[in-house]
Chain A
Amino acid sequence: MFLTRFQINPARRGARKLLSSPQAMHAAVRAAFPASDDYERPGSRTLWRLDTPATATVYLYITSPGRPDLTHLVEQAGWPTTATWDTREYDPLLGTLQPGQRWAFRLTANPAHSGRKTAEAKETQRFGYVRESEQEQWLLRRATRLGFAVATQRDGRPNLRLHHRRTLSFSRGAYPVTLTTVTYDGILEVTDGEAFRATLTGGIGHAKAYGCGLLTLAAAEGATAGR
């Protein structure tokens, strides 16, 4: 597995198109892999996410089974003469994951449930969770199955911050797509190494093609103050 970071130049026209449509970004990420094997393998798939750490700074993070080539992205939406992208081997970190470890994490996901629009409706469909409390519960309910537990703060609440809660709307061909997305920041504790590895490589929840489901880790030292 590989973890890649690419900085987007938001002043470029190509970047505007990619940032405004997850459908276009999905296609651009897909085009970074010559062989379909590099994009998706049994048990692992390509996931991506946009992070905005500061105004006008946009990072694209990608985890993928194969090594991506983002030359086309640099040409359309980057800085072709000065900066390219950063790809690191993900396996060394994945190999060291063990129960009991604490990590700071960030996840952008599409918290949703399926149901019927009306009692008489024949077909079930997917509905996004819009309330903050429901979005929080959505992740907490899944955590055990995904191989981790969200740490508890001193005040007894889960160490979790929800931000960038929004409803995305874009067109996919002739049809509109509407997605509720939210970014979770917090501290987690690994409970099941194997399941957690599968979570990092396979993603969480729906809308993985549209920038959801990628969970990334960072050192938790600075963030354990809340404990």
Chain B
Amino acid sequence: MTVLLLKLAGPLQAWGSSSRFARRGTEIAPTKSGVIGMLAAAKGIRRTEPLTDLLGLEFGVRLDQPGQILRDFQTARSLDGRHSAPLTYRFYLSDAIFLAAVQGDAALIHDLAGALKRPCYPLYLGRRSCPPAGPVSLGVEDIGLDDALKTWPWQATDRYRRGAPRIVQLEVIRDARPGDQDTETHPDEPVSFDPAHRQHTWRSVLRRHVPVTNDLAESSGVIDHDPLSLLGG
């Protein structure tokens, strides 16, 4: 199978799977519906058009840098200031970096990778106000989704990596396969993004941790230093 790897990084991201009304939440990791929606935007599929083969993609994400939750209490008013929009809480992930992988048919994956390079509609990280920092596509790999998420280098910033230990355990959240134990379900499997009848079904996911070596660990190569040992006694 062929895997398309994405680096989802930006000052703010917001990945909601069950937001309703005035409280617009975010998950701790990119949602499948959010990423499929981004791919559809890149390909120029309108919201009212069917998603067809995008529905069959397998999705997984690695939490390279978890970021922090940021709450925005929004008091938007109309331009003339007379009408106020409902007061809303909007939650964001700030300073987070994720490695997402999408697995599927080779021709489709190459097509999507090309579309991400020249997206038809603007790309954003879960919410329109959250543009990605830098190119989203990391390229196409001819390995399985599990291997891709296990072997791809750690994407966290240098500053974050310096403060981390030699070996870090990164959380991986991917689509569950038949036979997987300990799965959870989220209302996160997109069926249609049509604003008139938006539809999601349930998605089973599996959480695992993969070890990644950290070559920038501050302690790497720093040995205990005992100057008194040379002076005897």
Binding site for B on A (CB under 8 A): 3, 5, 51, 53, 61, 86, 88-90, 92-93, 104, 106, 161, 163, 185, 216-219, 222-223, 226
Contact = CB atoms under 8 A, between A and B. Distances in A.
Q: Which 8 A-B pairs have the closest CB atoms?
A: A216-B227, A88-B231, A106-B225, A161-B221, A185-B222, A163-B218, A161-B222, A218-B225
B164 to A, nearest CB: 14
A3 B227 contact: yes
B222 A218 contact: no
B230 A185 contact: no
Dominant SS among interface residues on chain A: strand
B226 interface: yes
Interface of B: 218-233
B114 to A, nearest CB: 36
Contacts of B227: 3, 5, 61, 106, 216-218
5 contacts: A61-B227, A104-B225, A185-B221, A216-B227, A217-B230
Contacts of B219: 163
A223 B229 CA distance: 15
A222 B231 CA distance: 18
Contact of A93 (B222, B223, B225, B230): B230
Contacts of B221: 161, 185, 226
A53 B224 contact: yes
A218 B226 contact: yes
Most chain A beta carbons < 10 A, residue from B218, B221, B224, B233: B221
A222 B232 CA distance: 18
Given A88-B233, A163-B218, A222 B223 contact: yes
Contact of A104 (B218, B223, B231, B233): B223
Contacts of A88: 228, 231-233
B221 to A, nearest CB: 5
A219 B230 contact: yes
B227 to A, nearest CB: 4
B230 A51 contact: no
A92 B231 CA distance: 8
Nearest to A215: B227
A134 to B, nearest CB: 15
A163 B223 CA distance: 12
Contacts of B232: 88, 92
A185 B222 CA distance: 6
A90 B231 contact: yes
Contacts of B220: 161
B231 A3 contact: yes
A214 B226 CA distance: 14
Contacts of B226: 218
Nearest to B219: A163
A96 B223 CA distance: 24
Contacts of A219: 229-230
A77 B226 CA distance: 21
A159 to B, nearest CB: 8
Contact of B225 (A3, A92, A185): A185
Nearest to A216: B227
A222 B221 CA distance: 11
Contact of B230 (A86, A161, A218, A226): A218
Given A88-B233, A163-B218, A3 B224 contact: no
A51 B225 contact: yes
B49 to A, nearest CB: 50
B213 to A, nearest CB: 16
Nearest to A223: B223
Contact of A3 (B222, B223, B228): B228
